[in-house]
Structure 1
Amino acid sequence: MKASRTPINVAQDSSFRHADGKLVLIAGPCSAESEEQMLKTAQQLKAINGINVFRAGIWKSRTRPNSFKGVGTVGLQWLNMVKQETGLRTTCEVANAQHAEEALKHGVDILSISGRATVNPFAMEEIAAALKGTRMPVLVNNPVYPDLRLWLGALERLNHADITDLGVINRGFSADEQYPYRSHPRWDHMLQLQQMHPELPLLCDAAHIAGRRSLLYPVSQKAVDLGADGLLFESHVNPAAALSSPQQQLMPQELDLLINAIESKVRLEGTNYLVEQLDDLSQQMDSVDKELVDLLLRRREVSQKISLHQMGDVQESLQVSRWQQELDAWLQREDYTQMDSGFVKSLMEALQQHRKGPADGVESSAVA
């Protein structure tokens, strides 16, 4: 999607791009859970070379109301304790102006704008107003769906509030086909933003994209190969007991090994190839889906022509008999043996219903 090239004013002395080219590394638990969990995790992360920002989820935006929503403001007190005890800078995600104001009050060093706020211009206006007059460094997560205008609009609103220490995070996008990722990386979208605004530091939230430990390395390495300035990880002293996203969090010592592999440009056998294959297969899936829609549109045209020559009950009886023969033939084909027979039958029934055409008053729009 095209977006305007309105200049983004980015501070030269950025918090999100190291002059020596080293990666900006941010790590911490998906969610703040207890004072002990926060401090233990932070103390172990501080020992990892390159990590100087501690992240933790304070408010968790959940689709369903009964899900764990984070500990709230008390978690900001724990973040402040982490800063005092370890010297690490701190960051958390905010989704509205009240979150931003609370974070400022408790001394959080860096704010990260939630992807659900990025997609909401009203929320962005209010957050920008809350930050006006500060020198707060701000990272802007991509909107949930790939829309460069919304992503850039969020940055422009922050600029209007005189916030210039800015960076962006590719945390992945919602997509119809995103398996095996938790959120599809849409590297092409990231590169488009990078090309439009090379002055804008770009980080990658490897944990949120991968959604599983096995993909953390290839996703991270791919991001670095494409020019990302930094990476975000989720780390917990006991991932198995985590209250949110245990499958994508690493123990600090595991994260240390991962970072060493990335910084030394180790090519773990098969990992980069895996991501490249996944991206290629995803593009193939998109192409097949487009071809399928084109075929269905062509089929609809033929169906409409058939409807002009209907022959009443005789023709209907012949079509039902032919449909049953076609269904039986499909289910017996060798290349369909691995497909669910229920899915094949449902598809054939939908096509048969659509075939009846507008003349019968039962034209179905589900397939068309």
Structure 2
Amino acid sequence: MELDTYFTRLLARKGQPLLLAGPCSAETEEQVMATARGLQGLGVDLFRAGIWKPRTRPGSFEGIGAVGLKWLQRVKQEAGLAVTVEVATPRHVEECLAHGVDVVWIGARTTVNPFAVQELAEALGGTGVPVMVKNPVNPDLALWAGALERLDRAGVRDLAAIHRGFSTGAPSKYRNAPTWAIPIELKTRFPELPLICDPSHISGRRDLLLPVAQKALDLDYDGLMLETHPDPENAWSDAEQQVTPFRLAEMLHELKHRYRSTENLDYLNKAEELRHKMDVADQEIIEALARRMALVEELAEYKKQNNVKILQLDRWNEIYQSRPEWAARLNVNDKFVAELYKLIHIESIRKQTEILQRPE
């Protein structure tokens, strides 16, 4: 994936995170133009609007269709905003090319299907149109990375990723759990790839937009995609997560833009000192894990000699309950420690299995 792309050039020219804004769905020409006029002067880099809407069940509003692309042409001409649209089929790509759409994105429901992504990659290859790829619906990093790689292999060089959260089935205040570790891992694998956050689809609620957007900026995301509507309460789709252009302007003012680093010597010296102490603490943690795993191996040998099963559920329940309690007493996040001990338990079982299955 190349460094010199539409998105990296835009970032370099702007010198701050990108802003993508517009309605969840293009509903009427008047609604689209009212939104575009409301966004003028806010530093919007791409006007987003859903033309084809892949809804979960038939019968709900599934997009206005290709006629809405003519409205986006007006947005470009009269409001001076570049436009972006979601595509799910090669026909969508053809329609977008015919109407001068600047950027397209592949949605979560499409990213999950490698066959669909491959068809889109072949349709987009050689067109020069920049493409953004939303994460798949479920928390699957391989599918997300694979979609980007398919596009890259088809010759699509202008790429960016959009983090819109994941459907996990677990109770959550979010519409789609952010699961920040997955986009961070994607960025680790592809450090040159611009990463944009979609707080609207993560939140599903107006009151959560600002904290999610702030966290994304604090995690060094390259941009935000926020759904904006002149009358959110009466939007034809996803009404609860959209804000007016006026409220968007307020949010942009409230967001804090932090520096990646600073030349302040006091900060640099103190940060270096604290990082050195963290290195020492990490070494101690790893040494403690090594001691624990040595004890696990010793216990496994005794189990083998006495023909005892690996999993001792009462013992595991005792550990799983007590370790988070110990952590809480030391002001360490108990849920984090519970997850950590799940990983330790998995490794413990792996080691014991290896020893019990070892030939005499």
Tell me the TM-score normalized by structure 2.
0.70
Instruction: Answer yes or no: is 1:250 the counterpart of 2:243.
Output: yes
The answer to whether the 8 A contact 1:45-1:51 is kept is: yes
Match of 1:275 in 2: none
Counterpart CA distance in 2 for 1:196 and 1:282 is 30
Q: How many residues align?
A: 269
Aligned match for 2:226, one of 206, 220, 233: 233
Distance 1:243 1:78, change over 3 A: same
Counterpart CA distance in 1 for 2:181 and 2:212 is 14
Partner letter of residue 103 of structure 1?
C
Match of 2:162 in 1: 169
What is the Cα deviation at residue 263 of structure 1? 4.3
Match of 2:183 in 1: 190
Match of 1:259 in 2: 252
Identity, in percent, stands at 50
What is the Cα deviation at residue 97 of structure 1? 1.4
Match of 1:15 in 2: 7
Counterpart CA distance in 2 for 1:95 and 1:282 is 42
Match of 1:321 in 2: none
Deviation track 1:280-316 (CA, whole Å, cap 9, x = no partner) reads: 999569959x79xx9xxxxxxxxxxxxxxxxxxxxxx
Match of 2:214 in 1: 221
The answer to whether the 8 A contact 1:236-1:242 is kept is: yes
Partner letter of residue 156 of structure 2?
I
Runs of 4+ in 1 over 2 A off after TM superposition: 280-288
Counterpart CA distance in 2 for 1:59 and 1:281 is 43
Instruction: Answer yes or no: is 1:37 the counterpart of 2:42.
Output: no
Match of 1:101 in 2: 94
Tell me the TM-score normalized by structure 1.
0.69
Partner letter of residue 10 of structure 1?
E
Partner letter of residue 230 of structure 2?
V
Instruction: Answer yes or no: is 1:26 the counterpart of 2:20.
Output: yes
What is the Cα deviation at residue 103 of structure 1? 1.1
What is the Cα deviation at residue 47 of structure 1? 2.2
Instruction: Answer yes or no: is 1:132 the counterpart of 2:125.
Output: yes
The answer to whether the 8 A contact 2:84-2:104 is kept is: yes
| SS of structure 2 residue aligned to 1:168 | strand
1:141-160 maps to which residues of 2 (within 5 A)?
141-160=134-153
What is the Cα deviation at residue 52 of structure 1? 2.4
Deviation track 1:215-258 (CA, whole Å, cap 9, x = no partner) reads: 00100000111110000000001111110111111110100010
The CA RMSD over aligned residues, in Å, is: 2.4
Counterpart CA distance in 2 for 1:26 and 1:40 is 16
Distance 1:133 1:264, change over 3 A: closer
| SS of structure 2 residue aligned to 1:39 | helix
Counterpart CA distance in 1 for 2:73 and 2:177 is 33
Instruction: Answer yes or no: is 1:62 the counterpart of 2:51.
Output: no
Deviation track 1:35-84 (CA, whole Å, cap 9, x = no partner) reads: 00000110110121x21210001111111111111111111111111111
Distance 1:27 1:216, change over 3 A: same
Distance 1:160 1:34, change over 3 A: same
1:332-343 maps to which residues of 2 (within 5 A)?
none
Counterpart CA distance in 1 for 2:40 and 2:110 is 30
Aligned match for 2:200, one of 207, 226, 231: 207
What is the Cα deviation at residue 117 of structure 1? 1.1
Partner letter of residue 183 of structure 2?
M
Aligned match for 1:179, one of 168, 172, 175: 172
Counterpart CA distance in 2 for 1:21 and 1:142 is 25
1:81-120 maps to which residues of 2 (within 5 A)?
81-120=74-113
Gaps of 5+ in 1: 1-8, 266-279, 295-368
